[in-house]
Amino acid sequence: MSAVGILVNPRSGSDVRRLLTSAGASTIEDKVSILRRIIHGAAEAGAEHLVLTRDPFSITRRATENLQLPIKVEMLDLPLHHTESDSVDAAAAMRDAGCRVLVSLGGDGTNRALALGWPDAPLIPLSTGTNNAFPFHVEPTVAGVAAGLIATGAVDLPSHSQQAKVVAVDVHGVDGECDADLALIDAIAVNDPYVGSLELFDPETMMVGVFTRAEPSAIGFSGLAGTVLPCMPDEERGVVLEFTPPSQNPARLVRAALAPGWFATVGLARSEYLELDVPVEVAGPCLLAFDGERSRRLHPGQTASLRVVRGGPRVIDVGEAVHSGARTGAFEIGVGDLGA
């Protein structure tokens, strides 16, 4: 069946950073509305099967009750841990359930977790988070139509999507073991003691960063890197920045919006383009932040290798998919179907 998976992060766009910056909020009601519009668009485009997971705020239940649509709704009953592992597990389960396309509601962190569970997922990432360099803003109804077109095969995936770049992270322990991780947009090494902190990043603590994209129009570290060395998602390279604390009179200072409505001055010692698969080595002790969220600690004796590779989700171009559907007559119906 033409299955569409929809992964909803119920907590995206609602964390404590709204108390520290001017970031907007994405409420539960917003997500219910967005999800309903996606479903209607997908069903209209011919999707026959919808795969969702249960959530603690009943977003998926509320969005799917009383639908009155010719679409099968499958609700995966996965255990909830209230961590990013919920999104990791949901993505893997949707892959195993045979979904042909996945729509996500969240920010950079949500989509990073999704990529950990389904690395090459055919994906439409809709922005409802705090850091939104990876997902994009598009009317959910149209996103649902694009998902339905891909799921039914009315529009082919390869020519309407591009595999995203990621920062592949290999952490090497003192015992020789290697642990893999990834970031979708940026991996930043910082001198910070608090893993999991949602506080804003202090430019005095930033050490080195590797970026898959550097867009001057973006918010966050991608926007910072974009003011120095612009690098778009379709370019076969990334960017590496080496930071110097602003208090140490660096040779170069850059002013950028590191969060919505919040600007900071960052010191730079080095900025270079980075070819694909060329490693940048980072040694502990330090903290690694992935896509704006502090994630892993490197202890003394541990090292990490950061490489930009094209090995992430296949991001679908919603506009091109819908245009192709229009060109091939996907939205035309026969006169005899008007009463259906």
Question: Please, is 282 exposed, middle or buried when counting C-beta atoms within 10 Å of its C-beta (0-12, 13-18, 19+)?
Answer: buried
Confidence of residue 68 (pLDDT cuts 50, 70, 90): confident
- Class for domain 3-163+313-337, per CATH? alpha beta
DSSP class per residue in 35-64: HHHHHHHHHHTT--EEEEE--TT-HHHHHH
Confidence of residue 130 (pLDDT cuts 50, 70, 90): low
Residue 115: strand, helix, or coil = helix
pLDDT of residue 255: 94
Mean pLDDT across the chain: 90
Same CATH fold assignment for domains 3-163+313-337 and 165-312: no
Confidence of residue 50 (pLDDT cuts 50, 70, 90): very high
Q: Please write down the HEC assignment for all residues of 311-335.
A: EEEEEECHHHHHHHHHHCCCCCCCH
Q: Is the pTM of this model over 0.75?
A: yes
pLDDT, mean of residues 175-196: 85
**Is the confidence at residue 149, as pLDDT, over 60?**
yes
**Is the confidence at residue 13, as pLDDT, over 70?**
no
Which listed CATH number (3.30.479, 3.20.20, 3.30.519, 2.60.200) goes with 165-312? 2.60.200
d(CA 134, CA 131): 8
Confidence of residue 119 (pLDDT cuts 50, 70, 90): very high
**Is the confidence at residue 27, as pLDDT, over 90?**
no
Confidence of residue 260 (pLDDT cuts 50, 70, 90): confident
Residue 237: strand, helix, or coil = strand
pLDDT, mean of residues 188-198: 75
pLDDT of residue 201: 83
Q: Taking the domains of the chain in order of start, what are their residue ranges?
A: 3-163+313-337, 165-312
